[in-house]
Structure formats: C-alpha cells, structure tokens
Amino acid sequence: MPTPAQERNRDVKPELDPAVADETWIVIPVFNEATAIRDVIGSITPWFKNVVAVDDGSSDRTWEVLRDCAPHPLRHFVNRGQGAALQTGTDFALAHGARRIAHFDADGQHRVEDLKTLVAGVAAGECDIALGDRFAGDVSEIPKTRWLLLRAAVIFHRMMSGVRLNDVHNGLRVFSRDAAASIEITADRMAHASEIIDLIGRSGGRVREYPVTIRYSEYSREKGQRWTGSFRILFHYLVGRIAG
C-alpha cells in the first residue's frame, strides 16, 4: 500500500537515469521524527533504493519506524548530533560502494525533485559538490528572522572561509564519491553546517548551487533551530576553528 507521499510522487516525471539513482546513496539524519520520517523515506524510495537513515539516539518510536521502512537503518545508541549522524551515514554508504552521496533532511522540508536535480548535476560532471540554494528558488515562504540569519551567515562565511555561496546552511547536498571521502565532519551538533562549508572550501572540489524550494511547514518550523541557537552554533564553530 503506497504512502500519501508515494502517491504524490507518482506525478513526478522520473527524468533521472535509474542507473545513476541506484549508485547514489541518500543519507538522512533522524532525531525524534517518528511521525514524519515514514513519509519522507516513502517519497525518496520510488527513485532511490539506497537510503541510509541514521537514528541519532531518538527517544520516541523513530527506530521502530526506521526498521520498518528504511532500506538501511542505522542507530546511534546515544544522541551525538546531526553532524555525527551525517558522517556515520556517509561512512556506511562509502563502505558499500556509493558513487554519489546526498544529504537530505528528515523533517520533510526538502523536495525529491530538487534532490534529483542535484544528483543529475553531479552525475553529469557539472560539479563535484552540488548544494541547494533556497534564495535562487521561491523565497516567499522563508520566515523573516530565518532570512536575516541566513543572509548574515552567508556574509560571515565569506569573511571566515572565503567560500562564496548564496545559501550556506542548506541541508540538501550531493557529493561525488571522491568529494564525500575527502570531507570528514567533526562538529557533532548543528555547527556541522558551517564546518561543511569550510571543508568544501578546502577540498578543492568544483561546487555549484542549484535553485531549490524549502517547504516551511508548521512541523518543520517547530523542529527547526530557534534564532537564539545561532549564538551557540557560532560559539561551537569558532571553538572548533581555534581548537581544531
């Protein structure tokens, strides 16, 4: 019995080469997403068979749901943060021969159409690292405080790491195998998004941003970071840069 998300995705044209999709592994860090994760995975699996869902020590029924619906469920026995979960999933995918690795959020804010566009870009050799750019897409749904913070983050990263991107905190990313292998996330918690940008800058890989649309549902807003959390992220990021 298809899930509602699978029903919706039947309307989407499968423009991605199935061979390319089969060689691409989707890594989803999951924390307390028992209510949303089945639909999210269900929306991906019609196109991508290799989905690695990493339960990051959830306290709700997430693990039971993942065991039931995720092609490759992994579990952190204690919560170590999104960065750690992404690195676990990436290591697992690389060990199983992934040619490309994608990061996808668990709260349903990313669209599979955008994922396919990024994967096709890397597969076609347009770049080694494809990143989602929400500011090149439909920006009408972005909450004002989030918009301001994200723009400030762009300026901050241009000053700190010299990486010129339009959207530095977009969780939708696709890496070629070599690019994924050259990046090791050490920031466990949310500072990983900033660390990834630094690592991308140092990796020397060709980077390209693609327009994407982020769905700011009531649920994803609730799950998302509070603006005050940005100070904590900034602190962890700066300590990470100084202390290594």
The residue ranges that bind another protein (CB under 8 A) are 54, 57, 72-78, 80-81, 84, 87-88, 91-92, 95, 186, 188, 239, 243
Q: Which CB, 16 or 98, lies closer to another protein?
A: 98
Give min distance, CB of 175 to another protein, in A.
18
Give min distance, CB of 76 to another protein, in A.
5
Q: What angle do CA 181, 186, 80 make, to 5 degrees?
A: 115
Give min distance, CB of 56 to another protein, in A.
9
Q: Are strands 173-176 and 100-103 parallel, antiparallel or unpaired?
A: antiparallel
Give min distance, CB of 162 to another protein, in A.
26
Give min distance, CB of 104 to another protein, in A.
18
Q: Which CB, 1 or 243, lies closer to another protein?
A: 243
Q: Which CB, 24 or 88, lies closer to another protein?
A: 88
Name, in order, each residue with C-beta under 8 angstroms of 241's C-beta and a sequence gap of 6 or more.
160, 198
Q: What are the CA-CA distances from residue 244 to residues 126, 160, 181, 236, 237 (Å)?
A: 32, 15, 19, 11, 10
Give min distance, CB of 89 to another protein, in A.
9
Q: Which CB, 5 or 74, lies closer to another protein?
A: 74
Give min distance, CB of 15 to another protein, in A.
31
Q: What's the per-residue H, E or C state across 101-157?
A: EEECCCCCCCCHHHHHHHHHHHHCCCCCEEEEEHHHCCCCCCCHHHHHHHHHHHHHH
Q: Which CB, 87 or 170, lies closer to another protein?
A: 87
Distance CA 184, CA 226 (A): 26
Q: Which CB, 145 or 186, lies closer to another protein?
A: 186
